[in-house]
Amino acid sequence: MSPMAAGNGSGRAQPTICGFSFGRDLTKLSYPVEAAVRSVLPICDRFVFAVGESEDDTRDRVASIEPVRNRRGAEVGVEIIDTRWPEVAEGGKVLAIEANKALDAAEATGCTWGFYIQADEAVHEQDLPAIEAAARQWVADAQVKALMFRYLHFILDYRTVDPWMYHKASRVVRLDGSCRIVGDACGPSLREYDGPSRNGGYLDKHLLGRHVQWARGDGRKAARIFHYGWVKTRRELEEKMGMVRRLWWGSLAEQEAEGRRDQKLQRLIDRYPVLRKFRGSHPAVMADRIERQERFGPVVNRWMNPRFYREVLAHGFHG
């Protein structure tokens, strides 16, 4: 049966969701790719993953993700697309190129919505009903192109979040050919947009109004994305910063690229003591990884740290 033919028995077509993601060398980067995919599979009808040619066992890990039964009772597994990344070493643009290969494959399935989950992210199981409810609510409104999520960015360990990183991004996108992943693959943008947004057609709630709605059901709070890409040991942090240097600053002179790398690395470590401690629960699919990981550093009272107030003065208080 075609994904578009799925229904609820009332004769009315229901929205269908194709999850999509991309990545390479995910073991070297210590990304929780299995958890990322498994966290959204229960509400997907299909899932496609663009696996780039890797120097580690990334493809085997993606291929090993076992199918699950979604909420319709259908079995959903991961469909792999093998890719080779082009040599693009500026601004992380190659990430958008690869994300769009996965988006193209998702559009080819005929599903209504695409759930764009990155390999270092996960969705809490408590939020899945709200996401499904929003997908149903807005399916008939063709002006709505994306559903937006709240973000939690975990830094260096699973107990520490950065309240000054971006707080929202679109992760569910309408699969009607109207959108592309842009920039360094942070999120989708409208292909053809001639409005007043200073960021072009980037699907941001404050700039594109009705085109974007929050991923929420009857509750007031939107669904969350748990971002784990910066949870690292010191050794893993070096590997991650090497990737950032190659893909964002690879076209710069060696000295300048190394300088930016060192500056970003040191800033992450220096800010760790003044970041917010997380008291909530994580997605269940992350339990094993979280149990194995130790704190990056000692727990200190950020309210007694002068650097905390410098950050608040510079960026405001965000929790």
Give 278-307 pLDDT, tens digit per residue: 999 999 999 999 999 888 888 788 887 888
Cα–Cα distance, 156 to 297 (Å, whole number): 9
pLDDT over 70 for what percent of the chain? Answer: 94
Bridge pairing between strands 179-182 and 187-190: antiparallel
Exposure class string for 169-204: b at 16+ Cβ within 10 A, else e: bbbbbbbeebbbbbebbbbbbbeebeeebeeebbbb
Residue with tokens 């066992």: 57
H/E segment holding residue 11: none
Mean pLDDT of 304-316: 82
Are the C-beta atoms of 135 and 147 separated by less than 8 Å? yes
Retrieve residue 275's tokens.
């970041």
Whether CATH 1.10.3430 fits 15-319? no
User: In the chain, where are the structural domains located?
Assistant: 15-319
Give 204-223 pLDDT, tens digit per residue: 877 778 899 999 987 778 99
Cα–Cα distance, 266 to 227 (Å, whole number): 20
Nearest partner of 47 among 96, 132, 116, judged by Cα: 116
